[in-house]
Every structure is written in structure tokens, then in C-alpha cells.
Amino acid sequence: MKPAVFSLEQPVSVAQLMQSGEGRIVAGGQSLGPMLNFRVAQPSHVISIAQIREFSLVEETEDAVIIGACVTHAAIADGRVPDIGKGILPAIAQGIAYRAVRNRGTIGGSLCHADPAADWLCTMTALGAAVLTLRPDGGRTIPLTTFVLGPFRNALQPGEIVQAVRVPKASPEARWGYYKACRKPGEFAHAMAAVFLDPARDIHRAVIGAVGGAPIVLEGSDVRIESAERALLQSGLDEIGRIMQLAALRRAMEQAA
């Protein structure tokens, strides 16, 4: 199908963006595009932020990598963005959808879209990432655990936009694992789990994605199957789905062991 009629604005700078009217923000359009074509989303005004140069930058600090919202999955997969250590970011990016989608899809767009089955949503939550927002009067740093409110819902207020995501660097002795179950590579996952263990920074975390709502976060001694089993009861998954999730978690834990 074809999208319903909408008007389009393409600001090229943050200053221009702040002058924009109200509209549905689109970055790479790899999730919103299909929704527009299906007409399950019919915004009257669309603001494309892909041309905003400030959002396509990357900054490396002593303890973190800050990735602009419009940096593509492909740029991360190719190592064109500094890694946080252990090859974590390229490994995750490489598994997102297909190359043609990775060339357009962006990390900021993926996090804002908050599809429960999104790779970045699950893994960035595990890595303790936070989004940096901008709004006319300043901005905020929002940890992903509070940024994602539910499926396709985030904590942004009207007029507020994600400019970048701040990902803390991993210690040299950090361990991690990520496993997702797809019927075909690149499809929406039926189960996914990320495990991140960084004792030097006192982090023991497992995150289960592809559930009905926001990702399930398990911390400390709850990084174990029994705790996940209990948490999954309210996830909207049927029994087979829950069993798949536990298998994904087991495999991610084995990778991180």
C-alpha cells in the first residue's frame, strides 16, 4: 500500500529543528516506513531529521562512547564508530535486520521507536546506556530503563528529541552474551536475551527483550533462570514463548560465563 497524505519538513540543523512545528519524527524510516505504507500510522506532518549533521556525529570520552541519534547500524557494524570494548557494538549491529536496512536505520530511531523486539533496546538496556535529549530549554540524560515505557512508547515530552545515546565503556574483564531466536536471520526475534557482567563496575545484569512491553531487567543475584521464569509470567508471552525466552537467556548466560 501507499502512505496516506502528509506534509514533510527536513531541517538541516538543530536550530532549524527547534523552529519546526509538531510532527512525527523520522530518522532512517526503516520502522515508520512500513507503518506508513500499511497506513497503520497516518501522521499529518512528518519531520525528517536525517539531514541534521549534529545528530550524525560520535564522541569518545574516557568512560563512554556517545553515538549520535542518526548514526546508522551499518556504520556501527563496520567499526566506523569507536567501540565500547570487547567488540560488543559491531557484533550487535551486524545482526540487525539486513544490510540494506542497516544502511538506513539509526540507533536513535530504533531506541525511540521502542519496538520490544529491537536489538538496541534490549542490549543498550543491558549495557546501562542512556539517551541524551534536547528540548528548547535544554535537555535531559534519561537511562534506558526509564526511557522506554512500553511497546512503541518512550518518555519524550512534546518538543523533546533524542540527540545521542551514551554507552559506558566496558572494563577489560567484562563478559557479555547476546542470543536471539529468529525463524530467519533479520526477522523480528521471538526471543532475545542480553547478559552483561562487569564486576569491576559492579554490574551483573540480564535483559530479556521481544516481550509484550518494556524489556525485563534482572539485576545481581537475579541473573538466573528462576527469576526470569517468574518475571516472564506478566510479559504477554504464551508458554512456548516463555520457554524460548528462557532458552535464549540460558545461551546468553553461557556466552557470558
**Of the residues 17, 89, 114, 197, which one makes contact with another protein according to CB under 8 A:** 114
**Of the residues 17, 47, 52, 116, which one makes contact with another protein according to CB under 8 A:** 116
Classify burial at 31, counting beta carbons within 10 Å of its beta carbon; exposed 0-12, middle 13-18, buried 19 or more: buried
Please give the Cα distance from 172 to 207 (Å, whole number).
21
Binding flag, residue 4, another protein (CB under 8 A): yes
Binding flag, residue 106, another protein (CB under 8 A): no
Helices (H) and strands (E) in the chain, counts: 10, 14
Minimum gap (Å) between residue 145 Cβ and another protein: 7
Binding flag, residue 229, another protein (CB under 8 A): no
Q: Which residues are bridge partners to 207 per DSSP?
A: 194, 217
- Residue 2's identity, in one-letter code, is K
Binding flag, residue 46, another protein (CB under 8 A): yes
The SS3 of residue 51 is coil
Binding flag, residue 132, another protein (CB under 8 A): yes
Minimum gap (Å) between residue 88 Cβ and another protein: 17
C-beta atoms surrounding 139 within 10 Å: 15
Residue-by-residue DSSP string for 147-195? HEEETTEE-PPTT-EEEEEEEEPPPTT-EEEEEEE-SSTTSPPSEEEEE
Task: List binders of another protein among 186-215 (CB under 8 A).
Answer: 186, 188, 202, 204, 210-214
Q: Would you say the C-alpha torsion 10, 72, 118, 201 has a positive or negative sign? A: negative
Please give the Cα distance from 80 to 156 (Å, whole number).
28
Binding flag, residue 10, another protein (CB under 8 A): yes
Binding flag, residue 88, another protein (CB under 8 A): no
Minimum gap (Å) between residue 146 Cβ and another protein: 5
Of 171-179, 192-200, 232-240, 248-256, the window that binds another protein (rule: CB under 8 A) is 232-240
**Which is nearer to another protein, 85 or 151 (by Cβ)?**
151
Of 15-23, 83-91, 99-107, 173-181, the window that binds another protein (rule: CB under 8 A) is 99-107
**Of the residues 11, 23, 225, 227, which one makes contact with another protein according to CB under 8 A:** 227
